[in-house]
Amino acid sequence: MKNYLSLIKFSHTIFAIPFACIGFFLASTNQSLSSGTDWLLFLKVILCMVFARSAAMAFNRYADRDIDDKNPRTAEREIPAGIISPNNALYFVIVNCILFTLITYLINPLCFILSPIALLIILGYSYTKRFTALCHFVLGIGLALSPIGAYIAVIGSFDNNSIIPIIFSFVVLFWVSGFDIIYALQDEDFDKSLGLNSIPASIGTKHALMLSNILHVISASLVVFAGYKSEAGIFYWIGCGIFILLLIYQHFLVKPNDLSKVDLAFFTTNGIASGIFGVFVITDLLV
């Protein structure tokens, strides 16, 4: 179990789950819903997030097993290191896809109908760097499904209030794409040597960081716009401020001539930013 949790980097689930929770509570606190919070449904949403992300991460490791074996940075991952066999990793993917689909069936018909599309995006991402440098945006789209997906889990359809979770989905899209570009800086030379596509490999470190800056400015602007559009309270704006400050902070950590703090910027800073923002937004919704 420890090896499989390491395979999928389970601790990194924190990136998207807070935004799924925001989508859920946006729908649950809608004035048109008088039945209160459905905690069983909340559990189903969390399980969907866990199963979908587990399938996506394990499939990424399976698809990239030969590439990871050639890259000194990733050669010790579970599959190239022989800790988990490729077939067992693939079985793990299949089981998680089945569980994800089953839970969507138990939620509502629309979630079940949309589940194959979600799986296509999050699994298909693993092959995108073989033909496009826009692979970072495909990853962003995959995680961006979380706020609107959780919202639909509660509502069961799109309604007039869907605009706010859609804005949050775009927040996630630009945020994730931006920090994934930073993460890809580590493999710029390796990607070039194998003919793999990424923003850093295509336009270089300096311009990649500039693009990441722009994407995070867009993400921050959308967070502000979502608060304005929803007439958010003080807790939202505190969370908003912290989220934006942490976005800025990670760009001070990573410089074109110094990539030593990429992991700190990618994992720690973004995980904290997502978690804190989620707590403050949900608190604002509930009080």
Task: Give residue 7's pLDDT.
Answer: 79
Contact between 200 and 185 under an 8 Å Cβ cutoff? The reply is yes
| pLDDT for residue 13 is more than 80 | no
Residues 6+ away with beta carbon under 8 Å from 239: 276, 277, 278, 279, 280, 281, 284
| Cα–Cα distance for residue pair 133/39, rounded to 1 Å | 40
CA distance 255 to 268: 17
**Per-residue pLDDT tens for 151-187?**
999 999 887 778 999 999 999 999 999 999 999 999 9
Containing H/E element for 43?
helix 39-63
Contact 125, 56 (CB under 8 A): yes
- % of residues, the chain, pLDDT over 70: 97
Residue range 219-250, pLDDT digits in tens? 999 999 999 999 999 999 999 999 999 999 99
pLDDT band of residue 6 (cuts 50, 70, 90) is confident
pLDDT at residue 270 tops 90: no
Q: Tokens in use for 133?
A: 């440098």
Confidence of residue 260 (pLDDT cuts 50, 70, 90): confident
* Phi, psi angle pair for 255, to nearest 5°: -125, 155
**pLDDT tier at 265, thresholds 50, 70, 90:** confident
Phi-psi category of 258—alpha, beta or left, where left has phi over 0 and alpha has psi -120 to 50?
A: beta
Mean pLDDT, all residues of the chain: 92
* Cβ atoms of residues 285 and 26 within 8 Å: yes
Predicted pLDDT of residue 35: 61
Look at the block and give the residue holding tokens 């980097």.
Answer: 9
Instruction: Label residue 60 exposed, middle or buried (CB < 10 Å: 0-12, 13-18, 19+).
Output: buried
| CA distance linking residue 198 with residue 136, whole number of Å | 7
The rounded Cα 196 to chain-centroid distance in angstroms is: 22
Q: What is the pLDDT of residues 91-138, one digit of tens each?
A: 999 999 999 999 999 999 999 999 999 999 999 999 999 999 999 999
* pLDDT > 60? residue 191: yes
Intra-chain end-to-end CA distance of the chain, in Å? 39
> Does the pLDDT at position 257 exceed 90?
no
pLDDT value of position 181:
95
Domains of the chain, each with CATH number or no CATH? 2-286 (1.10.357.140)
Percentage with pLDDT > 90 across the chain = 78
SS3 121: helix
- Pull the structure tokens for residue 54: 């587990």
3-state secondary structure at position 158: coil
Q: For 29-38, which contacts have Cβ atoms below 8 Å and span 24 or more sequence positions?
A: 29/285, 29/286, 30/155, 30/161, 33/154, 38/154
Where does the pLDDT of residue 12 fall: very low under 50, low under 70, confident under 90, or very high at 90 and above?
low
Place of tokens 């950590």: 253
